[in-house]
């Protein structure tokens, strides 16, 4: 059955159905509907909901709940995500699962409350202090949230690592028909690390303080090996009309959705443009891009930022191919027509250059 829901509310329902038993949130636009949805849904079902005193408190409540083995989640947007980074670093250090939602808004600073993709680097580079990574999932529609949310809880438990769902103000606020019929709650994992009182086992301690540099280095390499496993096993992406393409657009989330509209127009004019849409922003689909670069020379990166993911595209291509970039920061949402115009101009320029060769 399909229901008309906002992305924020659908995300809340998907989390509930995924077995999230503890939610902690603090008001910030454009994710408030998620906190409000959980306030009702979680409390009615006898699960844990707290409106915390700050984003810092919320992420630390998540840490506390997670250490008991609970599936815990929090959500926020730009400025609040900055505050959560301390706790995310501790979650990563303690190897505790958690799901953190960022409905990105324009920044830096207070910025605005319009949809943006300007938290890409913060999300994909760890974001807090120390050597660590968070898994970053970028859904492109309200329906896709019902796939991404259980996946986020599953990956968090599977790898004992914080997972970030990177949406944006538009995905959070817009209403679309959504069905939860196919949502499968993630498997329950055996957790041998939880703190629940030393009953029938020796006392446990969980800490990230490792004064001995050798021990901390060992811990760093252990985390690093885990991140390599994630890079090998968990890359997710969607391709769109790439088979015959001689220009590939790289875009994610709501940006990719606008690009799709542009590509439909481009195809009507017989411009062979396709798209790759990373669903995992970290791990980034680097190998796929490398493969594509064997036959395609031109990669067009579109982001609703001043250029962040474009760094990953450059790193992935390792100097191969030509990278075009178009960004709209500040919470501006371009239309498919605008992108059609810009992409087609780059496409024709690329072809003119080829002819010169």
**What span, in angstroms and rounded, lies between the C-alpha atoms of 11 and 18?**
10
**What span, in angstroms and rounded, lies between the C-alpha atoms of 77 and 118?**
11
Q: Check: CB of residue 114 under 8 Å from CB of residue 105.
A: yes
Strands 237-240 and 273-278: antiparallel
Residue 295's SS3 state is coil
User: Which of residues 192, 205, 212, 268 is near other proteins by CB under 8 A?
Assistant: 205
Judged by CB under 8 A, which stretch of 31-39, 47-55, 111-119, 131-139 contacts other proteins? 47-55
Q: CA 357 → CA 203, 294, 343, 351, 353, distances in Å?
A: 71, 18, 21, 10, 7
Contact between 81 and other proteins by CB under 8 A: the answer reads no
Residue 38 burial class via C-beta count within 10 angstroms: exposed 0-12, middle 13-18, buried 19 and up: buried
Q: Any bridge partners for residue 237, and if so which?
A: 278
Name the residue among 93, 95, 159 with its Cα closest to residue 130. Answer: 93
Contact between 4 and other proteins by CB under 8 A: the answer reads no
Contact between 61 and other proteins by CB under 8 A: the answer reads yes
| Number of other residues whose CB lies within 10 A of the CB of residue 133 | 21
| Number of other residues whose CB lies within 10 A of the CB of residue 213 | 8
Contact between 213 and other proteins by CB under 8 A: the answer reads no
User: Which of residues 18, 52, 124, 161 is near other proteins by CB under 8 A?
Assistant: 52
Taking the least distance from each CB to other proteins, the nearer of 62 and 149 is 62
Taking the least distance from each CB to other proteins, the nearer of 56 and 121 is 56
Which two structure tokens, joined as six digits, stand for 326?
A: 């178009």
Half-sphere exposure of 120 toward its Cβ, with a 13 Å CA cutoff?
28
Judged by CB under 8 A, which stretch of 45-53, 251-259, 274-282, 340-348 contacts other proteins? 45-53
Per-residue interface string for the shown chain with other proteins, residues 239-278, x marking contact by CB under 8 A: ----------------------------------------
Q: Any bridge partners for residue 250, and if so which?
A: 276, 301
User: Which of residues 5, 14, 20, 70 is near other proteins by CB under 8 A?
Assistant: 70
Q: Check: CB of residue 4 under 8 Å from CB of residue 173.
A: no
Size of the site for other proteins (CB under 8 A): 40
CB of 53 to other proteins, least distance (A): 4
Per-residue interface string for the shown chain with other proteins, residues 5-44, x marking contact by CB under 8 A: ----------------xx-x--------------------
Q: Please, which of residues 83-102 interact with other proteins by CB under 8 A?
A: 86-87, 90, 94
User: Which of residues 50, 145, 230, 271 is near other proteins by CB under 8 A?
Assistant: 50
Binding site for other proteins (CB under 8 A): 21-22, 24, 48, 50, 52-54, 56-58, 60-70, 72, 86-87, 90, 94, 195-200, 203-209
């Amino acid at each position: 059955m399909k229901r008309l829901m906002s992305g924020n509310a659908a995300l809340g329902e998907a989390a509930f159905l995924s077995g999230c038993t503890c939610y902690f949130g603090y008001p910030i636009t454009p994710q408030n509907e998620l906190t409000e949805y959980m306030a009702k849904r979680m409390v009615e079902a006898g699960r844990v909901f707290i409106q915390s005193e700050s984003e810092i408190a919320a992420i630390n409540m998540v840490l506390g709940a997670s250490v008991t083995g609970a599936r815990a989640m929090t959500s926020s947007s730009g400025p609040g995500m900055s505050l959560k980074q301390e706790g995310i670093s501790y979650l990563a250090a303690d190897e505790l699962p958690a799901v953190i939602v960022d409905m990105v808004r324009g920044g830096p600073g207070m910025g605005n409350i319009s949809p943006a993709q300007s938290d890409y680097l913060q999300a994909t580079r760890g974001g807090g202090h120390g050597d660590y990574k968070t898994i970053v999932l970028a859904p492109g529609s309200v329906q896709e949230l019902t796939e991404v949310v259980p996946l986020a809880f599953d990956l968090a438990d599977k790898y004992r690592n914080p997972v970030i769902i990177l949406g944006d103000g538009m995905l959070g606020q817009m209403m679309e028909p959504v069905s939860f019929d196919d949502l499968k709650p993630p498997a329950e994992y055996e957790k041998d690390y939880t703190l629940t009182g030393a009953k029938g086992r020796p006392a446990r301690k969980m800490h990230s303080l490792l004064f001995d540099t050798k021990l901390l280095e060992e811990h760093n390499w252990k985390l690093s090996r885990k991140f390599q496993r994630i890079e090998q096993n968990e890359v997710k992406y969607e391709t769109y009309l790439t088979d015959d393409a001689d220009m590939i657009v790289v875009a994610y989330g709501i940006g990719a959705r606008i690009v799709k509209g542009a590509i439909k127009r481009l195809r009507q004019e017989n411009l062979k443009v396709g798209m790759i849409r990373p669903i995992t922003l970290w791990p980034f689909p680097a190998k796929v891009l490398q493969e594509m670069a064997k036959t395609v020379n031109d990669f067009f990166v579109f982001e609703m930022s001043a250029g962040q993911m474009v760094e990953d595209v450059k790193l992935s291509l390792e100097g191969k191919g030509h990278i075009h970039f178009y960004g709209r920061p500040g919470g501006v949402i371009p239309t498919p027509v605008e992108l059609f115009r810009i992409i087609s101009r780059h496409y024709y320029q690329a072809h003119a250059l080829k002819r010169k060769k």
